[in-house]
């Protein structure tokens, strides 16, 4: 028989595995080649990490997300941005600076890709840049016919400003405790006269405690919200909202 012939020629009972092993080797080679061809065909380029090189700023990176926002104080003139790629799957990478307020835009910075160098840190210029100050990262995959993957990072400026002045006092006169509290918008303070109840004037025999507080608020310059989507103005934000109401018979006494 064929099995006996193989045993006679190879002097081994395992000789019948030669042909199946060869077929399995060829099939494995085809599968590996098909896998690499698929990876090459779908290689559009992507980042493995994108984060500010600063401990006080954060960015939640996801490879499938291409739009990000980083909130920075207005005092920052530049910020370092770190990006990482997989060298074996990347052909090229480049960075684009935010649009300047005057003059032409600077050309994109090309970053060479090396096998032992997968991360790069680039300084993003924020001074004299047009709002919303968007920087871009372009990643090119192995397949030249596929377009680059573009990641955009918007650096939204914020600043802490006073928004209200809060006056409060608590006094005790002849065992009777009285208190009052008044909040005024910071924008209405210049040239205004603030009246305080007589209980807070510190008369003889009264125990007066007057407290002055300045309310601070962080303002972020982001993208405009659609009309009608603005959040409702609550008690804490009422000093930031100005309402105009028509009044008849206006007099100095009414405005005092």
pLDDT, one tens digit per residue, over 139-151 is: 988 877 788 899 9
**Would you say 188 and 126 are in contact if contact means Cβ atoms under 8 Å apart?**
no
Quick one: 61 and 79 in the same domain?
A: yes
141/39 Cα distance (integer angstroms):
10
Quick one: 62 and 146 in the same domain?
A: yes
User: What total of structural domains would you count in the chain?
Assistant: 2
In a domain, residue 122? The reply is yes
139/60 Cα distance (integer angstroms):
19
Q: What is the pLDDT of residues 66-122, one digit of tens each?
A: 999 999 999 899 999 999 998 888 888 999 999 998 888 889 999 888 777 778 899
Q: Which residues constitute the domain of residue 28?
A: 2-41
**Would you say 138 and 154 are in contact if contact means Cβ atoms under 8 Å apart?**
no
In this structure, of 21-35, 149-163, 238-252, the range with the lowest mean pLDDT score is 238-252
Which residue's entry shows tokens 């993957």?
149
In a domain, residue 196? The reply is no
Quick one: 33 and 59 in the same domain?
A: no
CATH of the domain at 52: 2.60.40
Instruction: Answer whether residue 46 shows pLDDT above 90.
Output: no
Arithmetic mean of pLDDT over the chain: 78
167/148 Cα distance (integer angstroms):
58
């Amino acid at each position: 028989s064929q099995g006996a012939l193989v045993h006679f020629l190879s002097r081994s009972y395992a000789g019948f595995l030669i042909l199946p092993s060869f077929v399995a080797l060829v099939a494995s080679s085809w599968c590996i080649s098909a896998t690499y061809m698929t990876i090459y065909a779908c290689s559009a380029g992507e980042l493995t990490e994108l984060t500010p090189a600063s401990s006080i700023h954060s960015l939640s990176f996801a490879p499938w997300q291409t739009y990000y926002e980083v909130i920075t104080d207005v005092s920052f003139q530049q910020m370092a941005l770190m990006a990482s790629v997989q060298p074996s799957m990347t052909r090229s990478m480049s960075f684009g600076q935010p649009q300047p307020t005057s003059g032409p835009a600077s050309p994109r910075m090309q970053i060479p890709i090396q096998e032992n160098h997968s991360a790069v840190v680039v300084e993003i210029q924020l001074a004299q840049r047009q709002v919303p100050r968007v920087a871009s990262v372009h990643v090119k995959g192995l397949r030249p016919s596929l377009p680059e993957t573009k990641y955009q990072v918007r650096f939204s400026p914020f600043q802490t400003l006073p928004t209200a002045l809060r006056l409060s006092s608590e006094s005790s006169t002849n065992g009777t405790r009285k208190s009052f509290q008044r909040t005024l918008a910071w924008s209405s303070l210049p040239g205004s006269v603030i009246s305080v109840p007589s209980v807070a004037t510190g008369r003889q025999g009264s125990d007066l405690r007057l407290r002055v507080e300045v309310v601070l608020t962080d303002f972020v310059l982001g993208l405009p919200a659609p009309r009608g989507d603005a959040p409702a103005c609550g008690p804490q934000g009422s000093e930031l909202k100005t309402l105009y109401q028509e009044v008849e018979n206006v007099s100095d006494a009414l405005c005092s």
